[in-house]
Structure 1
């Protein structure tokens, strides 16, 4: 160990070959462990520009290499940047081919629409910006008619006359070798022509500025020249007037001279050219075909248009010679000449065309004397005896009816097929002879329905003997009318049968139109007979009732009440057990007939429909309104026999008894009704009757029993709360309303009464809470919103009211009640715009129309206010507040007659709705008051 000494081990160094190699260009150390590579300038060295494209191309050309086109292999999709280095393979080509086929298919779908759109756009472009060649296309086509001589006479386009003259002048000056100087006065005058002077020169100032001195010192007075011209014109017109008065001929009309000057129309060059072209065309036409009368007429009319009457008369005269058998050309010739010449022309015309009615009528119209016209027409009848028009004109000229009758007798012998002549003759005859005339007419013309209708109208008229005997009472008059109606009905049934046998069938619409015409002419029985005889035509059995009621409604709207009445008669005879038809017929008679007719219809209705409660009630009401109380009671007694447990009849009987002062009888009727019918309305009416009589304890007792039986009937709770309120028992009233709101949460009036009770008691917070709770149960209810808004206004919270109105309008954007409030919650200058919005949103409601009327009222536009008030009651005649506002307005601005007219219309309408109207009507103090008094009270309350 010692010999060897210490040994030192040196490790061998191991180095791999790849460590000496340069790293790849894309190598990033530690990339697998999440490192990210970056490059700095120290890695790549300083930047330097490479050779340009031009240098590369020059080098390739120097070496003789072919320089490739850079766009030769460029893809259509512009693959230059991202896909610049990719290879265009077969799948790329297939994808491009598929996409091309898809594009071509889509393009084929839209090609027709696109081409039509492009054609339309091109057409518009051509119409807005026409080319020069299209503007002169018609002129180019006209060049075909030019002859060789015309082409040779056209001058050359380049006319160098002016240029040659100037060149020759320059050559002459050069040849003479001299020039001429222009005078200073010429230059000064040329310079001063366009100078604007701001003041007058000395000469003009000396003469006051109205006289212009000439160069030689003379003065020109233009005012005197104008006056002299006017004086000369006046003298000429006066002389022409004197010549005309003396009878001498003159070509000047002094009265119409200035008017003629003003009426002259100056024609443009284009119009003159059109006239010349048209004249040439028409000249060619009449020359090539001289027997063509319309060509002569057109040529003469063209000259009239060109204001050349002489030429027009000459042309039309020549046309009359060429076409003597044409009536139009003779007629136009007479039109273009004076009346005297026209008579001569028409005299020649009737020799050539004696069968022309038009020529004879024109000749008769030129005559001013009636006898002369009569002679012309009778002469015409000699040539044309079968002209109805000539016979009519001849008869119209006769003043004596006997002469006219003789002429018509002859006319119907010559023209037996003229219905109009037969009817005119029948009107001129006595009733007895008229019947004979119409019988003869029916034999001659069996296919005319007008003759049958005229016969019916004649039969409707009473004879002379019947007219002398006057009916002593209505019964006799009605009996005679019924007898005539049966005769006319029988006649029209025979007329329809006869026409059918002669293959004449008119539609239902045509017969109804004839019936309406008869009613308009004053023949109601004939109109009804036509309807009864023909209304069954062309109607299916299952559609009869609907179709006939529609006919009656249409006739009623047109004002043909007799036609509508006849339709109802047929419907009632066909459907006697339909209570709806009887009710419509009664309503029609109530609106357009007499009270007696209404009672007759209802009496027949209850006979056929004994269990129809509505008909019994209507019949009793008509008797009651007519003042026949015993008759109404008798009808109700009969109704009880047919309908023992009818609620409506019980209530009607109780109301009749209470209105007539028989309170005990009313109480007994209601007590019996509670035992037999036992309905909520009967219990309510019983409580109301006891309340009216002042028996509040009895009323409360009845209400307690009724609420036990009918807890969801809100009116019981309302009446109970109102009785407690009237007794000043606020806690009991609050409890009653609370029970009612709990049992009937959908009752809007109940919530409103409860809120008003709290507001009256001074607890506004609780009232507001009740209304908010009510809106939770009844969303989008405008009445609750209006009550909340009104409460805020009454308590002084105007801003809070506006805020509530905004919320309400969002929830109920089309509420008429809210819009009427919104109009008057705006500032005065903004109300008109608000009213326009209200009319757009809810303009059909009377509340909105009343708001607009009140705006006009505030502006003191009386007539407009009255018109809008009338529109409000037309929109809904049952809205009582509209009548109240109208009467209030007339009380302030109208006369007594207007006020009485409003009251009468309101009584006829008998309204029942409206916030103020209902509150006034249901007030116990106003029970039993007529509509007139209620209207006065409502008008006094409105503000």
Structure 2
């Protein structure tokens, strides 16, 4: 080796450094070096400079031809091969190529390598890495050749000649890291150094002898020759040791019980293991940065307590509780007057240590209320708590917080004594005065409140407490005087109390059980800061808001005050009546109605409402007396006469009802009075008298269509059906249509009469379907005289369905929707009568056209019900009833749905809501409820009948 150690020495052929020490032999281009003659490098002249340049930058010489080293020849300008020794970037100069050695495979390989080089260059350019480019343009536009990696280490390679033989010998063995060597290593036994924790447990004798032997099975002590001992253990032995340690730990955690069993909570053990937090590198960096910043804060301003607290909390968050305690203890010495530092120190230390820390703190910071409260919280014995708080009160006699905490621990008598002292020490505390007044007797409470009023002349709470005290003793006459004096005193002392604050005090007094105090506050403060022209509107809104918040007594007081200022305002009386009907009792409602009737005697609605309430409550005689007074004041009132007759009729007094109607025709002869009189006779089956009254009424009121309707119905329904009765009915309808052509109900009744007349007349003189033809012509004439009337279109459609011409019915429906595109009744009929596959699309279109029509909403609900989507159906039915509660058909469909799919409670809920709404309209509802055999039935009974009728119609539709 020494033969070629010096400068310029050449190593033997195939020499590989380190091969004798186990290194794998390989040769790189940097080891071989460029194939440039040494004399060309070391010599002078242009050729030597060019050679050195090639050696330095790795650039090929002139006349270089790619692939020449692999057998390709160089070509000159004439196409001949170049000189011997062509240069290749990989192999260097080569011998003269032999003709015929460069074949197609070599050409293909060159193209492949060229493609790879081009692709790699594109990648480098995309990444912005131009270090591997062969050449770049310099500032002068000349090509600048960049150095190869191997050439960059040329100088270092030259220095290898200076390495001595000893230095070469001290080069460590690289070793064989090939895959074969690694596989051989895996097959050998693997040894691992024993963990420090296991060694420590062994040294401290925490494991018993058997566990120690098992843990160290397969362990060997090896001397590496450097004076240090390394403990290595077999992996199987380490696994067994880990299992043994875990078992011993579990045995130690388990509590012994009776017998040989042990109780253990593996779930809690695993939970405690999962509670161990792992800190990421980013969090560690953040914690270190926070430490540096907070250290700078402490060094800059050592008296800054929050900086010390933040530093301690950083250490606590990092899991170094001892360091946190050390920092906060130092802070207690430096910032001894900062209460937050002492409180933080108490929090970081155990209970007993915290008590001692706070004991020191109260001596260093005796004026800190927080420290005394924290010290009291740490005491578990109530006597010690009291002692701590009283010690705090000695140091801070004006602290309201300490007084409250101390009083809360005492019984009623001791609390009263403490409060007596507290109001002397803290006379500006309203809470203390009021608390003392609540604990004193009536006379003493009066004295306490008087003292409080002198100490705090600007506080309204004391005056209100005095009024509530008097109300609790039933001294109602004193309450108004106290509130009146309170308002004057506060104004005199320039205490600012807004109107909204007084309203809040009134509602608070009502919620505490003092409605008279609330009313007195409203009486003397409701008109504050309100203009005269805005009083009615403002008070109306105030009453609505109070009622919405549940303060009924306050709302009642506001309306009472408003009615005293505006006794003839009908809207105020109506609002007061509604309030009592919804939230009051029968007595309060009667009182308001009586006052309204006396104030506005000409408004008969108040008389009627009062009479109805008495009738509903079962006092018929009082209802009659009320109506008698109404007659005296309103002798020509149609509503009063009709109400009196209805009262007698509903109670079975037909003669008295007939008498009232007769007197009404004399005193207040209106078309409605004649209609009610004829209806009474019709119900009593006195059809001739009924027809006579109708004729008498028509002689006076020719334009009243309901009399024509009633006459036609009596002749067609109540009299024996023959040609004579049908002729009389036709005459009534003809007269009515002549005088009242705009009444669509008259047209519908006339068409139905002709539709049914074919069954009672001479069949021989009428062809089949002649009744439907006449009815159809009547409805067509009606639509001409009343265009865009959805009820007439609906009757025409239903007529076609009754006679079986469904195609014509569909045509009529299309025309109807073109003429009345936003008719809810037509859209609902379209949904319910369409085929199953078309109902959803029809429903979507109907909702788009009429999103708030109750009939459309009810039809969609019925569609949901047919698909067993009960929750959606119930929601949509409820929405339909809210939109218009006066349509009885919707209530009946809703009730029928609940009968099929709901519970009994839901059924009763729907029935109760229907009774409260008292519906009057609806095609099926009106036809059933106005039937003579159903006259006098209640709303609940009518609901059952209509639901049953709808169910029968649905069954018929399914059968057809």
- CA distance in structure 1 between the aligned counterparts of 2:151 and 2:514, rounded to whole angstroms: 92
Q: CA deviation at 1:392?
A: 1.1
- CA distance in structure 2 between the aligned counterparts of 1:862 and 1:613, rounded to whole angstroms: 46
Change over 3 Å in CA distance of 1:895–1:215 after alignment to 2: closer
Give 1:403-422 correspondences, 5 Å limit.
403-422=414-433
Residue 314 of structure 1 pairs with residue 310 of structure 2: no
Whether contact under 8 Å (2:191, 2:235) holds in the other structure is no
Whether contact under 8 Å (1:485, 1:529) holds in the other structure is no
**Range with bigger deviation, 716-725 or 884-893:** 884-893
- CA distance in structure 2 between the aligned counterparts of 1:277 and 1:811, rounded to whole angstroms: 80
SS of residue paired to 2:187: coil
Question: Which runs of 5 or more structure 2 residues have no equivalent in the other structure?
Answer: 1-126, 128-146, 166-173, 193-233, 258-264, 758-768, 952-960
Alignment partner for residue 670 of structure 1, among 653, 661, 667? 661
Residue 737 of structure 1 pairs with residue 733 of structure 2: yes
State the partner residue of 2:683: 692
- CA distance in structure 1 between the aligned counterparts of 2:907 and 2:634, rounded to whole angstroms: 44
Q: CA deviation at 1:218?
A: 11
Change over 3 Å in CA distance of 1:723–1:329 after alignment to 2: same
- CA distance in structure 2 between the aligned counterparts of 1:716 and 1:260, rounded to whole angstroms: 91
State the partner residue of 2:187: 215
State the partner residue of 2:77: none
Residue 625 of structure 1 pairs with residue 637 of structure 2: no
State the partner residue of 2:745: 749
Once the two structures are superposed, what CA deviation does each residue of 1:833-880 show, in whole Å capped at 9, x if it has no partner? 765666666555554554455455445566665565555544444333
State the partner residue of 2:641: 650
Whether contact under 8 Å (2:857, 2:876) holds in the other structure is yes
Give 1:729-878 correspondences, 5 Å limit.
729-761=725-757, 763-797=771-805, 801=809, 804-805=812-813, 808-809=816-817, 815-825=823-833, 828=836, 842=850, 844=852, 846-855=854-863, 857-860=865-868, 869-878=877-886
- CA distance in structure 1 between the aligned counterparts of 2:535 and 2:739, rounded to whole angstroms: 48
Alignment partner for residue 456 of structure 1, among 454, 464, 467? 467
- CA distance in structure 2 between the aligned counterparts of 1:800 and 1:337, rounded to whole angstroms: 93
Between 1 and 2, higher relative CO (CA 8 Å, sep ≥ 6) is seen in 2
State the partner residue of 1:606: 597
- CA distance in structure 2 between the aligned counterparts of 1:269 and 1:169, rounded to whole angstroms: 44
Change over 3 Å in CA distance of 1:338–1:773 after alignment to 2: farther
Residue 683 of structure 1 pairs with residue 674 of structure 2: yes
Whether contact under 8 Å (1:579, 1:615) holds in the other structure is no
Change over 3 Å in CA distance of 1:287–1:696 after alignment to 2: same
- CA distance in structure 1 between the aligned counterparts of 2:151 and 2:315, rounded to whole angstroms: 42
Q: CA deviation at 1:563?
A: 0.8
Residue 524 of structure 1 pairs with residue 535 of structure 2: no
Alignment partner for residue 506 of structure 2, among 494, 511, 515? 515
State the partner residue of 2:484: 493
Q: CA deviation at 1:357?
A: 1.5
Give 1:233-252 correspondences, 5 Å limit.
234-241=246-253
- CA distance in structure 1 between the aligned counterparts of 2:155 and 2:379, rounded to whole angstroms: 74
Change over 3 Å in CA distance of 1:935–1:324 after alignment to 2: same
State the partner residue of 1:354: 366
Q: CA deviation at 1:277?
A: 2.9
Q: CA deviation at 1:537?
A: 0.9
**Range with bigger deviation, 639-648 or 696-705:** 696-705
- Give the count of matched residue pairs: 732
Q: CA deviation at 1:216?
A: 5.8
**Range with bigger deviation, 649-658 or 335-344:** 335-344
Residue 388 of structure 1 pairs with residue 400 of structure 2: yes
Change over 3 Å in CA distance of 1:401–1:743 after alignment to 2: same
- CA distance in structure 2 between the aligned counterparts of 1:300 and 1:583, rounded to whole angstroms: 70
Whether contact under 8 Å (1:650, 1:673) holds in the other structure is yes
Change over 3 Å in CA distance of 1:633–1:396 after alignment to 2: same
Alignment partner for residue 697 of structure 2, among 706, 714, 727? 706
Once the two structures are superposed, what CA deviation does each residue of 1:768-809 show, in whole Å capped at 9, x if it has no partner? 454455455555544444444444444445555555555555
Once the two structures are superposed, what CA deviation does each residue of 1:145-189 show, in whole Å capped at 9, x if it has no partner? xxxxxxxxxxxxx9x99974997499889999xxxxxx9x98775
- CA distance in structure 2 between the aligned counterparts of 1:419 and 1:930, rounded to whole angstroms: 60
Give 1:135-154 correspondences, 5 Å limit.
none
Once the two structures are superposed, what CA deviation does each residue of 1:100-128 show, in whole Å capped at 9, x if it has no partner? xxxxxxxxxxxxxxxxxxxxxxxxxxxxx
State the partner residue of 1:95: none
TM-score (norm: length of structure 2):
0.68
- CA distance in structure 1 between the aligned counterparts of 2:248 and 2:879, rounded to whole angstroms: 65
Question: Which runs of 5 or more structure 1 residues have no equivalent in the other structure?
Answer: 1-131, 133-157, 177-182, 194-211, 246-252, 464-483
Give 1:415-454 correspondences, 5 Å limit.
415-454=426-465
Whether contact under 8 Å (1:241, 1:254) holds in the other structure is no
- CA distance in structure 2 between the aligned counterparts of 1:170 and 1:798, rounded to whole angstroms: 112
Whether contact under 8 Å (2:748, 2:779) holds in the other structure is yes
SS of residue paired to 1:644: coil
State the partner residue of 1:341: 353
- CA distance in structure 2 between the aligned counterparts of 1:161 and 1:265, rounded to whole angstroms: 50
Whether contact under 8 Å (2:325, 2:345) holds in the other structure is yes
State the partner residue of 2:936: 928
Q: CA deviation at 1:570?
A: 0.8
Change over 3 Å in CA distance of 1:216–1:899 after alignment to 2: closer
Change over 3 Å in CA distance of 1:169–1:695 after alignment to 2: farther
Whether contact under 8 Å (1:240, 1:254) holds in the other structure is no
Change over 3 Å in CA distance of 1:905–1:167 after alignment to 2: same
Q: CA deviation at 1:672?
A: 3.0
State the partner residue of 1:937: 945
Change over 3 Å in CA distance of 1:288–1:680 after alignment to 2: same
Change over 3 Å in CA distance of 1:217–1:383 after alignment to 2: closer
Once the two structures are superposed, what CA deviation does each residue of 1:449-506 show, in whole Å capped at 9, x if it has no partner? 111222222222237xxxxxxxxxxxxxxxxxxxx54332332222222222221242
- CA distance in structure 1 between the aligned counterparts of 2:374 and 2:462, rounded to whole angstroms: 32
Q: CA RMSD in A?
A: 4.1
Q: CA deviation at 1:823?
A: 4.3
Q: CA deviation at 1:924?
A: 1.6
Once the two structures are superposed, what CA deviation does each residue of 1:168-212 show, in whole Å capped at 9, x if it has no partner? 499889999xxxxxx9x987759x99xxxxxxxxxxxxxxxxxx9
Once the two structures are superposed, what CA deviation does each residue of 1:197-256 show, in whole Å capped at 9, x if it has no partner? xxxxxxxxxxxxxxx996369999x998998587346325315526999xxxxxxx9976
Change over 3 Å in CA distance of 1:678–1:255 after alignment to 2: closer
- CA distance in structure 1 between the aligned counterparts of 2:306 and 2:485, rounded to whole angstroms: 52
Whether contact under 8 Å (1:802, 1:825) holds in the other structure is no
- CA distance in structure 1 between the aligned counterparts of 2:344 and 2:446, rounded to whole angstroms: 45
Q: CA deviation at 1:561?
A: 0.9
Change over 3 Å in CA distance of 1:218–1:599 after alignment to 2: closer
Change over 3 Å in CA distance of 1:667–1:265 after alignment to 2: same
State the partner residue of 1:36: none
Change over 3 Å in CA distance of 1:439–1:590 after alignment to 2: same
Q: CA deviation at 1:725?
A: 2.2
- CA distance in structure 2 between the aligned counterparts of 1:703 and 1:892, rounded to whole angstroms: 45
Q: CA deviation at 1:738?
A: 4.1
State the partner residue of 2:295: 283
Q: CA deviation at 1:388?
A: 1.2
- CA distance in structure 2 between the aligned counterparts of 1:789 and 1:167, rounded to whole angstroms: 108
Change over 3 Å in CA distance of 1:797–1:287 after alignment to 2: farther
Change over 3 Å in CA distance of 1:824–1:447 after alignment to 2: same
Whether contact under 8 Å (1:755, 1:768) holds in the other structure is yes
Alignment partner for residue 559 of structure 1, among 546, 550, 574? 550
- CA distance in structure 1 between the aligned counterparts of 2:810 and 2:343, rounded to whole angstroms: 79
Change over 3 Å in CA distance of 1:527–1:800 after alignment to 2: farther
